[in-house]
Structure 1
Amino acid sequence: MRGRGTMGDMGRTLKRAAAFSALGRAITAGARGGPSIGKRLAALPRMIKATMKGEYDGGLRLALMSAAMIYVASPIDAVPEALLLVLGLADDALVITWLAGAVLAETERFLTWEARRESVIPGTVL
């Protein structure tokens, strides 16, 4: 039994580390020549619109990000905070960190997709 708990703890630790790493890479991307945070956030409405039209393949990722926002904002999430105090807030911090990293990473992916799409010249292939 102890072995299972240890592996589960390790898996959660690795997921947290990956979330923080993704967030760090996304935040520093602007300094390395990537899109700024403002440009990424401005791309959100276009990304949602392109996904809804079926032009962009971000549907599952947008659904996961929406679920994370609902989880953090929902009154159901108040129960862990009331009962577990610090641990209840820790899950929110993890979800918010993942959400920030996911939004930044997905908007960068969308901006790359958008740039490639604009560089294509419409026409007929013979």
Structure 2
Amino acid sequence: FPFRPISNGGKLKMFLLVPLALIGLLINLPVLLPVHWFVKTKIKEVEFVASLKFGFALLGFCVWWWLLASWIWDYSSRWELVIIGTLLPFISLVSLNGFLRKWKRFQTTRMLSNENLQPKYDAFVERVNLIRNSISF
């Protein structure tokens, strides 16, 4: 805080992450989709969402990646492909997370560049800075 718009390098990274993020979404969809559905339909308290997502991910991704590795081993019997086949879903999942974070920042930048919202945001930043200065020891 205050909000910093995404730089041109960040936009380039976001653009380069799109293919890997799409692969991550497609490979990990069998784990991501049931978790998303369960949280949206069954959980009413916001306090439990993060812990349930973590628990499902801890179990679900381990089982899913083990299944992928065993399928690759059954069809190829090559340990190099098993290592690549287990690392690719993990790396692509991390890139999906990076892409989503950059995308949210990009959307916030577009929203705050609106001429109606920019003065309100600047006034808010000034008020927060005044409060910070009055509290400082």
| TM-score, structure 1 as length reference | 0.35
Q: Which structure's residues are more often helix, by fraction? A: 2
**Considering only CA atoms, is the larger Rg found in Structure 1 or Structure 2?**
2
